Amino acid sequence: MLKPTIGLEVHVQLKTRSKMFCSCPVEFKAEPNTLVCPVCLGLPGSLPVLNRQAVEYTIAVALALHCEIQPFSQFHRKNYFYPDLPKGYQISQYDLPFSRNGYLIIETEEGEKRIGIQRVHMEEDTAKMIHGESISRTSGYSLIDFNRSGVPLLEIVSRPDISSPQEATLYLMELRSILRTLGVSTANMEEGALRCDVNISLERGTRTEIKNLNSFHSVRKALEYEIKRQEEVLKEKGQVIQETRHYDERAGVTLSMRTKEEAEDYRYFPEPDLVPLKIDPPWIEEVRSRMPELPEDKRKRYKELGLFPQEAATIANNPELANFFDSCLSLGAPGKEVANWLLSEVMKYLNARNLSIIEVPLSPEGLVEFLTVLKEGTISSKIGKMVIEEMLQTGDGAREIIERRGLAQISDPVLIKKWAEEVIKENPDQVSQYRQGKEQLFGFFVGKVMKLSGGKANPEILNRILKELLLRE
């Protein structure tokens, strides 16, 4: 199989309160054209003023992606003609972007892998156009809503270091988790807060670009399809044409956009309405000092607790779960055991109901008490699964549930059997005597097992199990 070379270009909407160059509020469910002003409508004479928060969010993202922040950066005008761009140009960055040369780490099945980041720059979002299937195809007109015009966007361009659709998904998940941990974006693909274009070639051959993928599923499917398509073309000794393709979600295929191949000619020039940015080390350090712990560092910390890489990644990449996990740790619980329960029974329960850990009444204190009860041997893991499910439903404490449901008397055959086996193993002489006919020794074994159970084993079950084991050869 030919090795794919994949690069991702991601656009992220920043979660500022106001737009990038004007003070119109940023909201996503407002009535069309109600969040507009002369600046974001591109009216003559209006002037942009940069939003400080957008700059600081960008610094934070650049730092999280290990990028070099340029001490001097500048905005450029990217000129092109399209109705979603009222000024006839987009304020973007060109040869003096905000930051370059970073990386992020993904946790693959073969271990950690670094994916290079070529650049992170700022630009403004365009207006939203409604056409095509949303309104009649034959109507011959489009509708424009300028509420999105001027919302701050980050463009994050990866190096072509990604070598499979799975890695592309991991990259996006890691990026999303970084953005959410920093609190700079909802990073929700379905809502368009994170949009993805991909570049793909086989064995460093001619590459194609697939634009506007709007879900994790689409990114994976489009890449899988495109790899197969390019393989077919090459197998038939054909040439992959450098072009932009569109992913048809319903048909699951990529299609050539059939645009006239015209060299891009954006005639970039420095934006004369904005002065340059000088980002000095004290400013960078100030932003850094306010940054929370990043998923990458969390993962490292969790792996040191004995978690497997995939376990550490699952927890670290889910900010709410990570908070819960960290609270358990600070209550003194052993990380490995917390992770085992969180990633099995708790996640199973949450996933089945499409809930997040903060939407159920189970508290970190509750889980830690549960682990203590488990360790004391009051219940077996098997009974534990039952108890934790009830804790997730009701928020009641483990001891309370055990008492209410009479679980404290140990009726769990697995646990009793374990104790019985232990007693049998430790008393080989008595066992052989019993098996040779000294039946009065049975009480000796019962006493030993009962002692191991802290006096809580169900005698009936205990007797039955013990008999079975002693009679077995």
Q: Which of 3, 114, 204, 278 binds another protein (CB under 8 A)?
A: 278
Q: Which of 2, 50, 305, 347 binds another protein (CB under 8 A)?
A: 50
Please compute Rg for the chain using Cα positions.
30
Residues 22, 51: Cα–Cα separation, whole Å? 8
Q: What is the residue type of 470?
A: L
Would you count residue 260 as binding another protein (CB under 8 A)? yes
Least distance between another protein and beta carbon 126 (Å): 13
Q: What is the residue type of 375?
A: K
Cβ–Cβ under 8 Å, residues 270 and 282: no
Which range touches another protein (CB under 8 A), out of 21-29, 155-163, 164-172, 333-341? 21-29
Least distance between another protein and beta carbon 252 (Å): 22
Would you count residue 12 as binding another protein (CB under 8 A)? no
Residues 292, 289: Cα–Cα separation, whole Å? 8
Size of the site for Zn ion (CB under 5 A): 5
Q: Tell me the pairing of strands 269-270 and 76-79.
A: antiparallel
Least distance between another protein and beta carbon 50 (Å): 5
Q: Which of 3, 38, 286, 451 binds another protein (CB under 8 A)?
A: 38
Would you count residue 140 as binding another protein (CB under 8 A)? yes
Helix 442-452 with 413-426: angle, nearest 10 deg = 120
| Identity of the residue, 109 or 280, whose beta carbon is nearer to another protein in the bound complex | 280
Q: Which of 5, 13, 51, 314 binds another protein (CB under 8 A)?
A: 51
Would you count residue 99 as binding another protein (CB under 8 A)? no
Which does residue 55 touch among another protein, Zn ion, none (CB within 5 to 8 A, set by kind)? Answer: another protein
| Identity of the residue, 24 or 392, whose beta carbon is nearer to another protein in the bound complex | 24
| Identity of the residue, 22 or 184, whose beta carbon is nearer to Zn ion in the bound complex | 22
Residues 329, 60: Cα–Cα separation, whole Å? 27
The one-character DSSP state at 79 is E
Cβ–Cβ under 8 Å, residues 7 and 204: no
Q: Which of 239, 259, 436, 440 binds another protein (CB under 8 A)?
A: 259
CA angle 193, 196, 201 (to 5 degrees): 175
| Identity of the residue, 139 or 289, whose beta carbon is nearer to another protein in the bound complex | 139
| Identity of the residue, 89 or 370, whose beta carbon is nearer to another protein in the bound complex | 89
Hey, which residues between 24 and 63 contact Zn ion (CB under 5 A)? 24, 37, 39-40
Under DSSP, is residue 384 helix (H, G, I), strand (E, B) or coil?
Answer: helix
Would you count residue 274 as binding another protein (CB under 8 A)? yes
Would you count residue 241 as binding another protein (CB under 8 A)? no
Which range touches Zn ion (CB under 5 A), out of 23-31, 260-268, 383-391, 412-420? 23-31
Would you count residue 88 as binding another protein (CB under 8 A)? yes
Distances (CA, A) of 157 to 193, 246, 462: 16, 19, 65
The dihedral through the CA atoms of 298, 299, 301, 306 has a sign that is positive
User: In 3D, which of 150, 145, 142 has the Cα closest to residue 126?
Assistant: 150
| Identity of the residue, 17 or 114, whose beta carbon is nearer to another protein in the bound complex | 17
Would you count residue 146 as binding another protein (CB under 8 A)? yes
The one-character DSSP state at 359 is G
Residues 438, 41: Cα–Cα separation, whole Å? 97
**What H or E segment, with its residue span, contains residue 429?**
helix 428-435
Would you count residue 18 as binding another protein (CB under 8 A)? yes
Would you count residue 433 as binding another protein (CB under 8 A)? no
Which does residue 144 touch among another protein, Zn ion, none (CB within 5 to 8 A, set by kind)? Answer: another protein
Under DSSP, is residue 417 helix (H, G, I), strand (E, B) or coil?
Answer: helix
CA angle 388, 393, 399 (to 5 degrees): 45
Q: Which of 217, 267, 336, 375 binds another protein (CB under 8 A)?
A: 267
Cβ–Cβ under 8 Å, residues 257 and 268: no
Would you count residue 230 as binding another protein (CB under 8 A)? no
Q: What is the residue type of 419?
A: W
Residue 363's Cβ-count burial label (10 Å; 0-12, 13-18, 19+) is: middle
Residues 36, 39: Cα–Cα separation, whole Å? 8
Least distance between another protein and beta carbon 68 (Å): 19
| Identity of the residue, 275 or 358, whose beta carbon is nearer to another protein in the bound complex | 275
| Identity of the residue, 38 or 459, whose beta carbon is nearer to another protein in the bound complex | 38
Residues 14, 21: Cα–Cα separation, whole Å? 13
- Residue ranges that bind another protein, judged by CB under 8 A: 16-18, 22-26, 31-38, 41, 49-55, 74, 79-83, 88, 130-131, 139-146, 257-260, 265, 267, 270, 272, 274-278
- Residue ranges that bind Zn ion, judged by CB under 5 A: 22, 24, 37, 39-40
